[in-house]
A and B are shown apart, each in its own frame.
Chain A
Amino acid sequence: MKQLDDSLENLIEIRNLKFSRGHRVIFEGLNLDIKRLENLIEIRNLKFSRGHRVIFEGLNLDIKRGEVTAFMGPSGTGKTTLLRLITRQLIPQEGTIRIGGIDIATLNLAELYQLRQRFGMLFQNGALLTDLNVFENVAFPLREHTKLTNRLIRHVVLTKLHAVGLRGAADMIPSELSGGMARRVALARAMVMDPDILIYDEPFVGLDPISMGVIVRLVRRMNDTLGITSIIVSHDVAEVSTVADCSFLISGGKVAASGSPDELRTAKSELVRQFMHGMADGPVAFHYQAPDYEEQLLGRDAE
């Protein structure tokens, strides 16, 4: 089978088509292009603040269809928040987020839920439902959204659990799982509805090297064979480099740098170098904003 080439600008190209039924000519010399929307997700001029704290201001970024895109950045810059904005769990104060050309702020609840069925999301800590066992957790979306028979559900769920290496854990309850196992179950659950877009929030944290390798390959393989678009949040520079097609370094409420992992690694910018090579001193302050150290230790209180 030929792979769909994602670099094709046109999804469908018709050139000089001729088609006739009997003597009746239906098409002759028909030319038609249907353009592929290059960018699955477009964020323009996004502004979001929590209370007085501005988290994003003037953020622009594009996520290409069929690629693995990574968001990187120091902790607390709002990577998780950005994922929540993209999935409309949060609503920005300004700016637009378009998914497949549709401004998601205009969707009503039913449309939003329809859109979300195309998403799979892996939460930072798994977010498994504590009152269901592993099997039922993975089966949950199927039971809620489909009328599949129990036999079929069993088949699908066990296949997905097998893919993350936890078929044997089907009867365990979430509290019996380690953090890494819970994340892998959550990954199986995120895949179970065969989504178009998979979102991973810090998928590599707390995984042993073996499961890390498995998960990285799984992410890559799903992306390539199923044509899924993946978004990964991580500050694990090494792992992201092996899996991402394009990375965005987010800092100070904006995209500080973007490009392929190689481009980022060789970038000249101070900030990028600091982050990619893990240096404490640089444009990104290691310290949360605070009054002057000396003054606070020695000086009088403000009031």
Chain B
Amino acid sequence: MTSVFRDVFNTSVEFVRTFGAFQLFSLRVLRYSPGVLLSRFDLVVKQVFNTGALSLVIIMVCGLFVGGVLGLQGYSNLARFNAEDSIGVFAAFGLIKELGPVITALLFAGRAGTALASEIGLMKATDQLSAMEMMAVNPVPRVLVPRFLGGIIAMPLLVAVFSMIGLFGTHLVAVELLSVDVGAFWQQIQITVDMDDIKEGIFKSLVFGVAASMIAVWEGYNAVPTAEGVGRATTRTVVITAIAVLVFDFMITAVML
């Protein structure tokens, strides 16, 4: 019995210690961010391209199908109240405020986050980070910060793409397939959705961007420098990002409503 308590205690201590280390790490990354943004923007752009372009196809495909599903589900429910014209509003709110940011962040973690973590972990395992240190180049601003900033910039753009393609998917299903009136579909969206809804979506996507990129960079940088360690780091990146995104989503929604 005491061993159970001891395990719980040790685990808690370990958790607090890791969390503290994560915060210190985040501060270190944030401290270098303005400088990198100003003086090494070329590196950031390269990473926006890397993470953004990596995730673009999967984001677009998933957006289309999520939008399509919203169209089907929305139609079957709203038709009962003869409100199938509102299907556009239903889909737009869902996509812009919730599904767009959340699903994009989850896909981002699976595609770009794992790529970041394994890339950085491999750089560590093959002594590339040590080699940089030996060349008097600090790997935090040179390697970590551009990847972190690239993720933050890419995320809102990907969310926008996701939501747009999603709405287009709903349009395809509702208008082309189920013959909802196209005028009503778009006009209701135009009337009902206002800037605050968009802002909520953008805010969420920024928060998720910071969380997903920071977690990926942290896991890669702290990976055990072996093949196995890098593999575990990528898995943890996905799991932790998913939890963080959903928790943050709940908190932000609760505050914003």
Which of A's residues lie within 8 Å of B, judged by CB?
Answer: 84, 87, 89, 109, 113-114, 116-117, 119, 121, 123-125, 127-130, 140-141, 144-145, 186, 189, 193
A116 near B136 (CB under 8 angstroms)? yes
Contacts A125-B127, A130-B128; is A144 near B137 (CB within 8 Å)?
Answer: yes
Query: Residues of A contacting B123 with CB < 8 Å?
Result: 129-130
B4: Cβ under 8 A from any A Cβ: no
A145 near B136 (CB under 8 angstroms)? yes
Q: A129-B128, A144-B135 are in contact. List 11 more A-B contacts (CB 8 A).
A: A89-B130, A121-B134, A127-B128, A127-B130, A129-B131, A130-B123, A130-B126, A140-B135, A144-B142, A186-B131, A189-B135
B152: Cβ under 8 A from any A Cβ: no
Residue among B123, B135, B142 with the most chain A CB within 10 A? B135
B138 near A113 (CB under 8 angstroms)? yes
Query: Residues of B contacting A189 with CB < 8 Å?
Result: 135
Measured CB to CB, the closest approach of chain A to B252, in angstroms, equals 35
Query: Residues of A contacting B134 with CB < 8 Å?
Result: 87, 89, 116, 119, 121
Number of residue pairs across A and B with beta carbons under 8 Å? 52
Measured CB to CB, the closest approach of chain B to A93, in angstroms, equals 20
B128 near A128 (CB under 8 angstroms)? yes
**1/0 per residue B111-137: CB within 8 Å of A?**
000000000001100111011111111
Residue among B123, B126, B127 with the most chain A CB within 10 A? B127
B133 near A116 (CB under 8 angstroms)? yes
Query: Residues of B contacting A193 with CB < 8 Å?
Result: 135
B136 near A114 (CB under 8 angstroms)? yes
Closest to B129 in A: A127
Closest to B138 in A: A113
Query: Residues of A contacting B126 with CB < 8 Å?
Result: 125, 127, 130
A127 near B135 (CB under 8 angstroms)? no
Query: Residues of B contacting A127 with CB < 8 Å?
Result: 126-128, 130-131
CA distance A124 to B136 in the complex (A): 18
Question: Which of A89, A130, A140 is within 8 Å of B133, CB to CB?
Answer: A89
Measured CB to CB, the closest approach of chain B to A99, in angstroms, equals 14
Query: Residues of A contacting B132 with CB < 8 Å?
Result: 129
CA distance A193 to B137 in the complex (A): 13
Measured CB to CB, the closest approach of chain A to B174, in angstroms, equals 44
Query: Residues of B contacting A144 with CB < 8 Å?
Result: 135-137, 142
**1/0 per residue B25-42: CB within 8 Å of A?**
000000000000000000
Query: Residues of A contacting B127 with CB < 8 Å?
Result: 123-125, 127
**1/0 per residue B125-157: CB within 8 Å of A?**
011101111111110001000000000000000
Query: Residues of A contacting B138 with CB < 8 Å?
Result: 109, 113
Residue among A109, A124, A129, A189 with the most chain B CB within 10 A? A129
Contacts A130-B122, A130-B123; is A141 near B130 (CB within 8 Å)?
Answer: no
CA distance A139 to B223 in the complex (A): 28
Query: Residues of B contacting A186 with CB < 8 Å?
Result: 131
Measured CB to CB, the closest approach of chain A to B26, in angstroms, equals 19
CA distance A116 to B134 in the complex (A): 6
Measured CB to CB, the closest approach of chain B to A134, in angstroms, equals 15
Residue among B122, B128, B132 with the most chain A CB within 10 A? B128
CA distance A121 to B131 in the complex (A): 8
Measured CB to CB, the closest approach of chain B to A165, in angstroms, equals 21
Measured CB to CB, the closest approach of chain A to B137, in angstroms, equals 5
